[in-house]
Amino acid sequence: MDNAQLSAFLFNLSIWLLPGLFAITVHEAAHGLCALWYGDKTAFFLDRTSLSPFKHVDPVGTVMVPLFLLFIQSNFMFGWAKPVPINPRNLKNPTKDMAVIALAGPAANLVMAALWILVAKIGFALLPTYPSPQLTWLIQCARVGIFFNLILAVFNLLPIPPLDGSKILCAFLPFSLADQLNQLEPYGLLIVMTLLITGILPLLIGPPLQFLFQFVQYIL
């Protein structure tokens, strides 16, 4: 790696670190807080409702995979954190409540994307009057925050265990089919990586993301 490549990597790392960690952390904390609201204190007692990234970081999904994708300058970026433990026995309506708890993560990402849009709009408004490297860097962070949160929201809605979409889908499936779907959970990461390597994953999440990105461009 020459100096130019190293500089590009470090710059990309600097603009991805804050919004990336924040997106993953709030996503997981939202699951825990929603579970607490519905009566399950498991995540709360394990401090998984915290906004500290260190409570949610997965060495592979939060660190190694995103760093590798940044290093190879991949056009597709994703990652994951440690799953938040939920005990369905503590829920009044386990199937329905688990679906709502699962939906809380992607919903939190959409809210964060909206907040980053606000930051970007403020940054663009200030830039002509107060041009500075710091403001330009903040705008780049906002763009990454929008991009990553939208990807994380759409990606997690895929009906592949243990992604959130599978738990939402289970609320609408007969018990036997939901049970068969949940049995795929040990192979979830393998399924996702296979879809990524074969190029199928971008095709699955591409259309909704394209719609969302076009909407964001219209707003900005």
What pLDDT does residue 75 have? Answer: 65
Cβ(113)–Cβ(146) under 8 Å?
Answer: yes
What pLDDT does residue 182 have? Answer: 92
What are the structure tokens assigned to 32, written together? 């825990």
Calculate mean pLDDT across residues 57-63: 79
What pLDDT does residue 20 have? Answer: 87
**CB contact set of 164 (below 8 Å; sequence gap of 6+):** 102, 103, 105, 106, 156, 157
User: What 3-state DSSP class applies to 158?
Assistant: coil
For residue 37, the surrounding DSSP H or E stretch is helix 3-37
Contacts of 118-123 with CB under 8 Å at 24 or more apart are 119/145, 120/146, 120/220, 121/219, 121/220
Q: Which segment, 77-91, 106-120, 128-142, 201-215, is predicted with the most confidence on average?
A: 106-120
Calculate mean pLDDT across residues 113-132: 94
Bigger pLDDT: 76 vs 115: 115
Domain tally, the chain? 1
- Rounded CA separation 214/196 (Å): 23
Q: Which of 59, 40, 54 is nearest to 104 (CA)?
A: 40
What pLDDT does residue 78 have? Answer: 67
- Rounded CA separation 156/146 (Å): 16
**Is 90 exceeded by the pLDDT of residue 167?**
yes
Assign 73 a pLDDT band (cuts: 50, 70, 90). Answer: low
**Is 90 exceeded by the pLDDT of residue 63?**
no
Domain range holding 100?
3-219
- Rounded CA separation 102/167 (Å): 6
